């Protein structure tokens, strides 16, 4: 049996850990709230731009743009969104596992794909496996604003345009609720499946459809990326919050069982002492 | 007078929403005024101000990287960033302007940074003029 002092120090250290995890839980809860709000604020913009893009891309059959047409696939791009820090439960590993398996199934050599990693965890994962990471971005704010993301998004879209890859998939953790997130796989480029929720309007174009698509499509793709990032930020904080709550609960349980054995050990020590005194006294008589 | 619903939406959330009598702005092809009952239309916008007229009162919104979408019952402006004149941080815009000017002075060659500095300067000037309402 561990000594009294050992148990005591374990209890103190577990208590300190639980204080930290508790604080982290509360921090994540606040960030999670903000993250969900940001994701909500983005919805009207996304819906609107989707509607307009769909109207133009579907409405005018002659409208042709490189971003709308599929070309023979020589190289596939994967945009993987993870967090910069761990301690978020299975948040990162779920995404990474799925991407890793997909790549292993689809491709035989390193030249057939390119990875764009957002987040330190994802970057380190792919780099340590010697996979082809063409672009990595770390240190994205917890509440990213669109202007922060614009560079990344336009770089990514640019890589598609200049032929670094011929299609682009995006992988991220989709936020469902505070306790459940799901890995989402989306084909981002070429934009083949634009669907509008409402009925299409036929527009006049100023100056013409091609020139509008020229500006609109990159912007649309950028906002898809931004949307995915907001979504995955919300799930990151939700995942971290849940993980930290579990950790706090576990620490509490551990403290309980440790204090029980501490009390037992103390009682045993006292009993033994009494027995010794009584034994000593009896020997004197 | 008849009015039309106008909303200015950015990725960071809606910025402006109201009924107005006239929207006027600068599209890539030139000045553009929209009155209620306009034909459905889409046009990319320049970095500039959107003027929203309602009676004798005119409101200004600084817009960059945006689109104008006109529907029979509403006008939507989709922009990468937009601020109402009252919400512009003038100090920040002035600083941004100085920074951009400095960068333009430093490198005079035609490259990406130059182009970006130019755009940044345009945005800053736009914000300043909207904030001071000198349009």
Claim to verify: residue A134 and residue A168 sit in the same structural domain: yes
Claim to verify: residue A190 and residue A280 sit in the same structural domain: no
B65 with A202: Cβ contact below 8 A: no
Q: Which residues from B are below 8 Å from A55, CB to CB?
A: 42
The pLDDT value given to residue A62: 57
Claim to verify: residue A73 and residue A183 sit in the same structural domain: yes
Asked if domains B4-86 and B88-132 share a fold, the reply is no
Structure tokens at B84: 């109402």
Q: Please give the ipTM for the structure prediction.
A: 0.76
Q: Which residues from A are below 8 Å from B67, CB to CB?
A: 52, 212, 215-216, 219
Q: How far is B119 from chain A (nearest CA, A)?
A: 13
Q: Which residues from B are below 8 Å from A216, CB to CB?
A: 44, 67
The pLDDT value given to residue A148: 79
Across the range B129-135, mean pLDDT stands at 70
Q: How far is CA A48 from CA A205, A221, B67, B68, B78, in A?
A: 17, 13, 11, 11, 8
C-alpha of A157 from chain center: 21
B78 with A38: Cβ contact below 8 A: no
pLDDT(B135) > 60:
no
The pLDDT value given to residue B123: 84
Query: Can you give the CATH number for the domain in which A256 is found?
Result: 1.10.287.80
Q: Which residues from B are below 8 Å from A226, CB to CB?
A: 11
Q: How far apart are CA B134 and CA A244, in angstroms?
A: 53
Please provide the DSSP assignment of B79-92 as one string. EEEEEEGGG--HHH
User: Per residue in B21-61, pLDDT tens?
Assistant: 999 888 888 888 889 888 888 888 888 888 888 888 888 88
Claim to verify: residue A146 and residue A230 sit in the same structural domain: yes
pLDDT(B111) > 70:
no
Select from B13, B32, B81 the Cβ nearest to the Cβ of A147.
B81
Q: Which residues of chain A have pLDDT under 70?
A: 1-2, 59-64, 193-201
The pLDDT value given to residue A124: 92
Claim to verify: residue A146 and residue A277 sit in the same structural domain: no
The pLDDT value given to residue A255: 95
Residue A30 inside a domain? The answer is: no
Please provide the DSSP assignment of B99-126 as one string. HHHHHHHH--SSSHHHHHHHHHHHHHHH
The pLDDT value given to residue A198: 60
Q: Give chain A's end-to-end CA distance (angstroms, integer).
A: 34
* Chain A residue with the nearest C-alpha to that of B42: A205
Claim to verify: residue A173 and residue A123 sit in the same structural domain: yes
Q: A212 CB near a chain B CB, below 8 Å?
A: yes
Claim to verify: residue A203 and residue A264 sit in the same structural domain: no
The answer to whether the CB of A21 falls within 8 A of the CB of A247 is yes
Select from A45, A211, A215 the Cβ nearest to the Cβ of B11.
A45
| Number of domains chain A is built from | 2
Contacting residues for A34 by C-beta, under 8 A, at least 6 apart:
A142, A143
Q: A45 CB near a chain B CB, below 8 Å?
A: yes
The pLDDT value given to residue B108: 62
Claim to verify: residue A198 and residue A247 sit in the same structural domain: no
- Domain span at residue A169 reads 36-239
Q: How far is B12 from chain A (nearest CA, A)?
A: 6
Q: A6 CB near a chain B CB, below 8 Å?
A: no
Claim to verify: residue A232 and residue A249 sit in the same structural domain: no
* Chain B residue with the nearest C-alpha to that of A50: B78
Residue A181 inside a domain? The answer is: yes
Closest CA to A145 of B13, B90, B64: B13
Q: How far is B28 from chain A (nearest CA, A)?
A: 8
Assigned superfamily of B88-132: ATP synthase delta/epsilon subunit, C-terminal domain (1.20.5.440)
Claim to verify: residue A98 and residue A169 sit in the same structural domain: yes
The pLDDT value given to residue B107: 66
Query: Can you give the CATH number for the domain in which A133 is found?
Result: 3.40.1380.10
The pLDDT value given to residue B126: 83
**Per-domain residue ranges for chain B?**
4-86, 88-132
A223 with B10: Cβ contact below 8 A: no
Residue A31 inside a domain? The answer is: no
Fold (topology level) of B4-86: ATP Synthase; domain 1 (2.60.15)
User: What's the angle, vertex CA A134, arms to CA A129 and CA A139, rounded to 5?
Assistant: 90
The pLDDT value given to residue A10: 93
User: Per residue in A149-205, pLDDT tens?
Assistant: 888 888 888 888 888 888 889 999 988 888 888 888 888 878 776 665 566 667 777
* Pairing assessment for the beta strands A76-81 and A113-118 based on DSSP bridges: parallel
A201 with B9: Cβ contact below 8 A: no
Average pLDDT, chain B: 83
């Amino acid at each position: 049996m561990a000594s009294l002092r050992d148990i005591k120090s374990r209890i103190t250290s577990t208590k300190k850990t639980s204080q930290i995890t508790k604080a982290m839980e509360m921090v994540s809860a606040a960030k999670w709230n903000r993250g969900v709000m940001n994701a909500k604020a983005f919805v009207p913009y996304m819906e609107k731009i989707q509607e307009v893009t769909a109207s133009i891309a579907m409405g005018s059959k002659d409208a042709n743009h490189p971003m709308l047409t599929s070309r023979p696939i020589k190289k596939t791009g994967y945009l993987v969104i993870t967090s910069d820090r761990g301690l978020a439960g299975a948040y990162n590993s779920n995404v990474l596992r799925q991407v890793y398996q997909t790549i292993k199934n689809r491709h035989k050599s390193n030249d057939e794909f390119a990875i764009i990693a957002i987040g330190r965890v994802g970057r380190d994962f792919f780099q340590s496996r010697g996979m082809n990471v063409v672009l990595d971005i770390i240190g994205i704010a917890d509440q990213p604003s669109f202007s922060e993301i614009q560079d990344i998004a336009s770089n990514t879209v640019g890589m598609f345009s200049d032929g670094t890859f011929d299609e682009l998939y995006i992988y991220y953790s989709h936020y469902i609720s505070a306790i459940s997130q799901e890995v989402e796989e989306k084909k981002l480029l070429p934009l083949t499946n634009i669907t509008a929720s409402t009925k299409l309007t036929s527009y006049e174009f100023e100056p013409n459809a091609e020139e509008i698509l020229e500006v609109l499509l990159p912007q649309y793709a950028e906002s898809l990326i931004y949307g995915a990032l907001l979504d995955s930020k919300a799930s990151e904080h939700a995942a971290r919050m849940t993980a930290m709550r579990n950790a706090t609960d576990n620490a509490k349980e551990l403290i309980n069982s440790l204090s029980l054995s501490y009390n037992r050990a103390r009682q045993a020590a006292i009993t033994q002492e009494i027995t010794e005194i009584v034994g000593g006294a009896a020997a004197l008589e | 007078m008849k009015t039309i619903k106008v909303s200015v939406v950015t990725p960071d959330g809606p910025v402006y929403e109201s009924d107005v009598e006239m929207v006027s702005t600068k599209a890539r092809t030139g000045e553009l005024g929209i009155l209620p009952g306009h034909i459905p239309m889409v046009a990319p916008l320049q970095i500039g101000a959107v003027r929203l007229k309602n009676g004798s009162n005119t409101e200004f919104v600084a817009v960059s990287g945006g689109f104008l979408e006109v529907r029979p019952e509403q006008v939507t402006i989709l922009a990468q960033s937009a601020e109402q004149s009252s919400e512009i941080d003038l100090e920040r815009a002035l600083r941004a302007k100085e920074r951009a000017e400095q960068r333009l002075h430093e490198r005079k060659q035609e490259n990406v940074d130059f182009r970006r500095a130019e755009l940044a300067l345009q945005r800053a000037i736009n914000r300043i003029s909207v904030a001071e309402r000198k349009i």
